[in-house]
Amino acid sequence: MKLTKRNLLIINLIITLLVWGHILWDYFHGGIPTHYILQDGNLPGIPNWVGGIVLPFFTWLLLYRIQKRVNVPDAKDTISLVGYRFLAALAIAVLISIFFSTGIDVIDFIMLAILGLSFVFPLYKSEYLLGWVLGSAFTFGAIIPISFGSVLALLFYLLFQLRRSIMGFVRPKLK
């Protein structure tokens, strides 16, 4: 199965409608929330409507990257594998959002576990980042998950490459 431009457009349209539907709901039910950096009201705030503008472009970029990777003839990543990765990241992000909203203090342990998993799995790939952003956007708006997730993706890439470098150095020594 291929990820066509039509599918990209449909997925992006659905995400755009969902994010703007959420913004409209907030507007008519008490106002659009503003998320403050580091949860400090003295720092600059980012209203959710900014995410309504940025998230569709970010989604399109990530979907385009996924499309370029899975639509080549000898692709290692299939569309179903990409889907499973997306759903895993989405589930973790929703779980973290729930824990954050309810005040359950286990997010540090989850993030530490994810950091450890980044040595084994390529958590820097676009589908993981898209799942993270979409799973977190309801609770944190879109801008904070995009920023934090992008920094995490870079860190995960560096850790994954570090593991590969170490294994490339150690393997010949073991033979």
pLDDT in tens, 90-117: 999 999 999 999 999 999 999 999 999 9
Q: Domain of residue 28: give its range.
A: 5-174
What's the rounded mean pLDDT across residues 83-89?
96
| Burial class of residue 143, CB neighbours in 10 A (0-12, 13-18, 19+) | buried
Q: What is the pLDDT of residue 1?
A: 63
Q: What percent of the chain has pLDDT over 70?
A: 99
CA distance 55 to 139: 14
> Which pLDDT band holds residue 127 (cuts at 50, 70, 90)?
very high
Task: Give how many domains the chain has, as a whole number.
Answer: 1
| Predicted confidence (pLDDT) at residue 2 exceeds the cutoff of 90 | no
| Predicted confidence (pLDDT) at residue 157 exceeds the cutoff of 70 | yes
> Which pLDDT band holds residue 163 (cuts at 50, 70, 90)?
confident
Q: What is the pLDDT of residue 128?
A: 97
| Burial class of residue 125, CB neighbours in 10 A (0-12, 13-18, 19+) | buried
What's the rounded mean pLDDT across residues 42-69?
92
| Predicted confidence (pLDDT) at residue 20 exceeds the cutoff of 80 | yes
Q: What percent of the chain has pLDDT over 90?
A: 65
Q: CA distances (Å), 169 to each of 74, 160, 163, 166, in order?
A: 28, 14, 10, 5
